[in-house]
Amino acid sequence: MKTSVIFNRCSLILISLLLIAFTTGDNKSQYSVPIAAWSVTAGDIDMDDDNDIVIGHNYNSQTQWSGVSIMLNNGNGYFSLYDSVFLFAGQSDVLMKNLNTIPHQEIIGNFIDSQTGMKFLAIINDFDLTNISYFAANTEESINDKTIGDINGDGNVDIVVASHDGKFWGVLYNDGSGIFSEPEYNYVSNFFPTAIACGDLNNDNRDDIVVCGQSTEVYFSYPDGFQSLVLEANNFKQGASIVDFDLDGDNDILTFVGIPIVGVTSLIMYKNQGNNVFDTLPEFYFQPMSSRFFVTDFNNDSLQDILFQLSDKSGYIIYYNQGDFQLANSQFVALPPSNPQEGWRNCHCADMDGNGYNDIITVKTLYAYLPDNLEILFNDGNGNFVEDPITQIQELIPVDNKPILTCYPNPFRTEITFQFTIQETAPVELSVYNLQGKLIRGLTLNNLKGGITKIKWDGLDTGGKPCKPGPYIAYLKANGKIRQSLKLMKLN
């Protein structure tokens, strides 16, 4: 149920630097943004074909402000503050996703009515900071985590929430227009939820839910309700992710926890065997302790890698996926603490400079002015994370006139973006085939000018029908010759 709430929007520029974003130093990776930056996400909110940044801020007693900030990408990895909006509540997990029939992505945050104490989900609609919808949480308990997924398989994005203290999780169902139902809560027993994740675990086109804390439980979504499965009990986890880690067409489950007593990180992976059966793989330990993880493909090999955010605020550790649940030796990515040191940091990974490789965005939390409280480490595609956008370091000129072809995200569900570079004007063909050699979709670009080109494929075949999940091959031809190929994986 949509609820109207009367509140005063912070529309004036605050004194000093509290609500101003700017770059510092010579590199373009460091920004000073509004204080108490607590969470971060990325997406193309202004629909100009590059990823922008949305930051969630915790409430600060000095400024009496909390809310959401938007930083727009100028097209090559440089950012400027577009605007900030006041939302009275801690924004611990700000999200972005298109929730209605208008193409713009929505921003999903939190809101508390300061007079009644009622809690709401706040949705900023259609890139319009004056168009905010509020949906009552119908609980006095804090909502400590939320995520998104199509839980009932109707093609609309629903919102899933969890409460640690309330010992429940719940779903707000989307009717397709961005209007959400009242939450339907499900209570757990004998543990306090710390994290949730959504994804289709049994290939029925309905996203299922993983809830973890002292236990790790799966809730399979069916037309008549949820069926629960306990993966592990009495083994604490603080994060979960659902992803096809071994590229077998079935989504697997990854969980982790940082163990402070011994200063180590524990990773447990559950391999999906199909038919709602999961194998618990041997626990993987490493030092030091981590506070968060993020699963994404850093090297564009179609395998999902794991980024661990280190609790000592020294940086990150990346484990690259070698297939079949095997991890390569770790890579340390340094990101030292600020001065004064932040109390908390959070991260998100996405391609921010348009070179086709996922970068690392970090926000640092301090309840006072903190310079450089947002930093971006740009992925050059060769295993290096640097302080300047890659598109500003080099123009990605091909060697010997050979095109450079990348694609993202891969695996994908509904849409994938191809990016390639040619040195001079030429006729170019980009074609997608299945593994039997049948042409699925062809895109011809006559007399394409030299430089970088992006093409989106909507996952439809030549007849306009959605392609089946599975592997595909993309071929890039220039001047009638195949120059490069890439393997793609389409998920449900």
Over residues 230-264, the pLDDT tens digits come to 999 988 999 999 999 999 999 999 999 999 999 99
The rounded distance, in Å, linking the Cα atoms of 54 and 68 is 7
pLDDT bucket at 14, cuts 50 / 70 / 90? very low
- CATH 2.60.40.2550 segments of the chain: 399-490
Per the prediction, the chain carries an average pLDDT of 88
CATH class of segment(s) 2-392: mainly beta
- CATH 2.130.10.130 segments of the chain: 2-392
pLDDT bucket at 351, cuts 50 / 70 / 90? very high
The rounded distance, in Å, linking the Cα atoms of 245 and 83 is 37
The rounded distance, in Å, linking the Cα atoms of 431 and 412 is 17
The rounded distance, in Å, linking the Cα atoms of 349 and 298 is 9
The arithmetic mean of pLDDT across residues 324-339, rounded, is: 93
The arithmetic mean of pLDDT across residues 394-405, rounded, is: 47
Residue 471, strand partner residues: 489
- How many helices (H) and strands (E) the chain has is answered by 1, 39
**pTM of the complete model beyond 0.75:** yes
Greater pLDDT, 14 or 313:
313
Q: Mind listing the pLDDT tens digit for each residue in 130-153?
A: 999 999 999 989 999 999 999 999
- The DSSP element (H or E) to which 363 belongs, if any, is strand 359-365
Greater pLDDT, 146 or 427:
146
CATH, domain range 399-490: 2.60.40.2550
Amino acid 7: pLDDT: 38
Q: Dihedrals φ, ψ of 393, to 5°?
A: -90, -40
Amino acid 364: pLDDT: 96
One-character DSSP codes across 400-420: GG--EEEEESSSBSS-EEEEE
> Of 349, 363, 343, whose CA–CA distance to 318 is shortest?
349
Q: Mind listing the pLDDT tens digit for each residue in 95-117?
A: 999 999 999 999 999 999 989 98
pLDDT at position 4 over 50: no
- Using a 10 angstrom Cβ sphere, with 0-12 exposed, 13-18 middle and 19 or more buried, the burial of residue 8 is exposed
Residue type, 152: N
The rounded distance, in Å, linking the Cα atoms of 371 and 10 is 22
Contact between 178 and 160 (Cβ < 8 Å)? no
CB burial readout 430-439, b (16+ within 10 A) else e: bbbbeeeeee
> Is the bond preceding 389 in cis, omega lying within 30 degrees of 0?
no
